[in-house]
Amino acid sequence: MFTEEERQLLSKCKAKIGCEQLTHCMLMPYSEFLRTTGLCQEQAQRAWTLISKAYPWQQHMQKASVGAEQWLTTGDSHIDRLLGGGIRMGSIVEVVGESAAGKTQFCLQLAIAAQLPRDSGGIGGDVVYVSTEGAVPTGRLATMIGPFSRAHKGMQAASIMQHIQVAELEDMETMFHALNYKIPALLATGKVRLVIIDSMAAHLRFDLDGEGSRKSQDFYKERSSLLIQLGAKFKKWAAQYSCTFVCVNQVKDVFQPQSLLRDTNDSEQSTQASGADLESEFAMVRSNKAPALGAIWASIVNVRIMLYQRRGLAPSLSDTPEESRLPEHLLRTRSAG
């Protein structure tokens, strides 16, 4: 399929990026591919073209077109309309926002809504709720279940709790062990349809042990490789088990908005290659905030939901019960294939 020269070029790319399969490179923006491989523009473009040709596009398109799509309600009809019907099963969804914007509340609401009957927007499966930032707020979860169980008489609070499995992962090593071994084992049972990770960024945001710029560079290079590998696994499992991954992302401060553009859009080709939506990618720049996991993670997720605080504004109407309503926010979405 490839000449010896092409195989050597692709082997070099694989070694530099540290991914299991070359086609996993399609999960990263071209600008990041160019920077990580260290190739010149001509070689990088050639390698990118070869990898693109090897990617099984037709096979994935056929899988995506088989069977009717299934959607999970968010529990709020206004948000469902913004998302085109709710959370599409088989996708990777990112929920991003600053502290107290309602990210955990939104995820807890999804975990409960998943238990609804199918004709009411549920998915008829178990939920795995992974917390990387302390204990899962089970008390808040129990409080939120009350209005749902009263609105849907067939739902019992105890039954809902039994179908939500929780895991608390305190460090990066524990998190990756769970994501690589425990989560796929649970998915293989066929019972789990929704995996919530709150949050993905907690153990991947900073180089806590790094000393100096060199170690920081190594950390972020390793992080890029880990995100690509996890993204490939999430996509594989989402398609294989018809489940959805909801991943919470934190925000970082942006002191110079122009530098953000340079970091994630190094060349004119990067936007075309990654398919990133610039408007939503930099939607938080006006408040000097940006998603913490950067452009690679942005190119992996299918949908990005941004939560904003709306301070000093009158609350909007919502048809969800008051006890389980999300904090007032401005919600933006970005969908990708």
Single out the residue of 4, 11, 20, 19 nearest to residue 39, CA to CA.
Answer: 11
Question: By C-alpha distance, which of 73, 57, 69, 71 is closest to 148?
Answer: 73
Q: How confident is the model at residue 214 (pLDDT cuts 50, 70, 90)?
A: very low
Are 112 and 42 within one domain? no
Q: Tell me which residue has tokens 């992080």.
A: 223
Lowest average pLDDT, out of 18-22, 61-65, 119-123, 166-170, goes to 61-65
155 vs 20, residue with greater confidence: 155
pLDDT band (50, 70, 90) for residue 301? very high
Domain that holds residue 91: 68-335
Residue that is last in its domain, among 46, 61, 76: 61
Q: Are residues 50 and 85 in the same domain?
A: no
Total domains present in the chain: 2
- Looking at the structure, do residues 45 and 186 belong to the same domain, yes or no? no
Residues 140 and 247 in one domain: yes
Q: E strands of 5-138, at which residues?
A: 71-72, 87-88, 92-97, 126-131
Predicted structure pTM score: 0.70
Among 21, 46, 61, give the residue marking a domain's end.
61
Give the CATH number for residue 273: 3.40.50.300
Taking only the tens place, the pLDDT of each residue in 118-156 is 888 888 889 999 999 888 888 898 888 888 888 777 778
